[in-house]
Chain A
Amino acid sequence: METNKSEIRLMKGNEALAEAAIRAGLDAYFGYPITPQSEVLEYLTLEIPKRRGIVLQAESEVASINMIYGAAGAGARVMTSSSSPGMSLMQEGISYIAAAELPCLLVNVVRGGPGLGTIQPSQGDYFQATKGGGHGDYRLIVLAPSSVQEMCDFVFDGFKLAEKYRNPTLILSDGALGQMMEKVEFPGDGSLPHQIPAWATTGKKGRERNFITSLHMEPERMEEINLHLQRKYKEIEENEVRYETFEIDDAEIVLVAFGLPARICQKTVELARAKGIKAGLVRPITLFPFPKKIISDLSKKIDRFLVVELNAGQMVEDVMLAANGNCPVHFKGRMGGMLIQPEEVLEEIEKIVEESLTLNAGQE
């Protein structure tokens, strides 16, 4: 296939992500099948032998994440993907990778949980993704796509951020985004050059030895490492926040949603506005770093937030922290693999608005 120039194709989210990874100069992929993300591994095992890189089906997600550790430590541009139960298995390895500051791209095509759960879309892994996930104080950079185009674009952004900060980046997608087909435009090969970093373990030819570890027996040293990591996360919070807004200028009620529900909520905003309700939308694109400032700023001028998620209420806690009591924060969620409809969110808005009116009336 001719891939040295940009190209527009109609593709599933998972396949678009896999194609993007090859075009982004992926050196190696290690992964294990799990629905609804197996197309990533399938696509790569089909394409990589014809093109460039290494793809290996590991014996488990535990093995894949540790292969990622090894290959990233040897200076390669690497990626793994999985869905919720598989991501749970990877957490120890991700903690080691974050501690050893190895760049890599992780993808979670989230399905409904807990337990074996369902293969339908969910956002139930928000806490795991944004609060560390494994043991110890660490953060991943978390990108939340809401279209097949972003399943492609965020692969490039993900590698860039991971390598800039020597930190694992996670694309937090969901089963619906992974499976749905949309038009997607790919850049040509070679747009993201990569060099083997000086710290990588590649054999100590012509230099002092390199080693990669996360073990520091002296607590003073371990605290220093932690302080260094925390400084890095702060820098990421200062420089890398990304979000989108829709109709917020005169909004009285602002929806906050990430990923696919953000698109659903955009429709809700249109429906609400048609009914004369001044609704708006904030869509966090980076979940870590979380767009605290826009939430905080809005909280001082709007009536209320309504957070919409495909879970029992996870990001809503970050919205509450940022809103800091300045305005009420409501929540509407579906769980277990259920998607939410724009009309359902609209109903919730109407209910909230009505409740507040009766409340106000009672106070007068």
Chain B
Amino acid sequence: MPEEMLIDEMQCVYQKPGTLTDEYMHYCPGCGHAVAHKILMEVVEEMGLQEDIIGVAPVGCSVFAYNYMNIDMQEAAHGRASAVATGIKRVRPDKFVFSYQGDGDLAAIGTAETIHTINRGENILIVFINNGIYGMTGGQMAPTSLFGQKTSTSPYGRDVAHNGYPLKITELIAHLPGAYYVTRQAVHTPNTVRKFKKALNNAFEYQKLNKGTCFIEVVSNCPSGWKMTPKETLTYIEEKMLPEYPLGDIKVPTQNKN
């Protein structure tokens, strides 16, 4: 029996947005990608953007985002999602365009594209999922991995003398004049989810203004890569990730001179 028939429409208080497909998500239980996808697609539905939006999926755990998001999408090479999004937006300036990228994708192999896309002020949204690890390839160290964090390629813990520092790319790109709206959010509590949703709303509203790049970092988790239960990752986010990556707006439009 189709699911929708089980629930009387009048009684329905919560449902999957029509902007998500019926495909089963492959994400590990408790993974922040799944929540971020859903909230992003809720906003796309609520703002009525489904027919006028083109998304770009990265190489990373969210490589299959195009299987779940019921919108036009392109799957980019590792690190190049913002360049692909630039190509799309330049030839389809009247459409909404976003890229969705992990920390390895955006802040390691794709750093040049990230900086230059934002420096050109491309009128796109970049959603940056920072889980401090390479989830897809099995838990290697990411540019955003924390001091002392143990991963499969930092088995003794990240040593700054050897591996450098956790890269705060969001603070870095906020300095660029092309960045219009830069904020750091999370999706591990109902409250943070609400704020992330608001940030997405803002970003798509701003995209209509053609004033520059909007950038939303999402401090997320990776239960599999971190070798924790989903519940443990929530504590880890609060106690370890957020002190290094504090939540909140980093650049809001009133700070812009343009």
Contacts and interface: CB of A to CB of B under 8 A. Distances in A.
Interface in A177-206: 201-206
Contact of A60 (B66, B75, B112): B112
Interface residues of A, number: 39
Contacts of B92: 74, 202-203
Interface string A212-255: 11110000000000000000000000000000000000000000
B77 A71 contact: no
Given A74-B87, A206-B51, A63 B95 contact: no
A212 B91 contact: no
A206 B72 CA distance: 12
Nearest to B83: A66
A213 B71 contact: no
Interface stretch (A51-59, A113-121, A136-144, A322-330): A51-59
Given A28-B91, A62-B80, A209-B73, A70 B112 contact: no
B48 to A, nearest CB: 12
A153 interface: no
B73 to A, nearest CB: 5
B84 A202 contact: no
Interface in B52-76: 52-54, 56-57, 63-64, 66, 70-76
A106 interface: no
B50 interface: yes
A214 B75 CA distance: 8
Contacts of A75: 91
User: Is the interface on chain B under 10, 10 to 19, 20 to 34, or 35 or more residues?
Assistant: 20 to 34
Contact of A93 (B56, B77, B112): B77
B61 to A, nearest CB: 13
A210 B88 CA distance: 14
Given A69-B76, A73-B74, A205 B51 contact: yes
A66 B77 CA distance: 8
B87 A202 contact: no
A73 B88 contact: yes
Given A63-B113, A66-B80, A203-B95, A213 B87 contact: no
A256 interface: no
B72 A202 contact: yes
Interface string A57-96: 0111011101111111111101000000000000011001
A30 B85 CA distance: 13
Interface string B34-61: 0000000000000000111110110000
A27 B92 CA distance: 11
B116 interface: yes
Top 7 A-B pairs ranked by shortest CB distance? Answer: A70-B87, A67-B87, A70-B84, A71-B87, A66-B83, A66-B80, A201-B72
Interface of A: 27-28, 30, 54, 56, 58-60, 62-64, 66-76, 78, 92-93, 96, 201-206, 209-215
6 contacts: A56-B90, A63-B113, A66-B77, A96-B77, A202-B95, A204-B51
